[in-house]
Amino acid sequence: MTPICRGCGLRPDEIAEYIMRCEDEDDYGSPAEVVRREEGTFNQVTGMFWCSACFISQGMPTGTA
């Protein structure tokens, strides 16, 4: 399942912050892996998460997406 931002509907490979993190660190094989392993808002059941821009625009909600 490919992670999708709950706010903007983009995949991690369409969001600069996850692309850059993947490029900067050899530990990650893809931007989606960055989200799965590091994104605190990632919901493993639904595959949803909040990218930083959407997280901030939504008032920084607590819990998973």
Q: Which domain holds residue 12?
A: 4-57
Q: Is the pLDDT of residue 64 over 80?
A: no
> Does 63 reside within a domain?
no
Q: What is the tally of structural domains in the chain? A: 1
Instruction: Examine residue 49 and state whether it is found in any structural domain, yes or no.
Output: yes
Flag whether 8 is in a domain. Answer: yes
- Are the C-beta atoms of residues 13 and 31 closer than 8 Å to each other? yes
Q: What is the pLDDT of residue 18?
A: 96
Q: Give the pLDDT score at 24.
A: 87
Dump pLDDT digits (tens) for 26-40: 889 999 999 999 999
Which tens digit of pLDDT belongs to each residue from 9-59? 999 999 999 999 998 888 899 999 999 999 999 999 999 999 999 999 999
Structural contact between residues 49 and 35, judged by C-beta atoms closer than 8 angstroms: yes
Task: Give the E-state strand segments of the chain in sequence order.
Answer: 4-5, 48-49
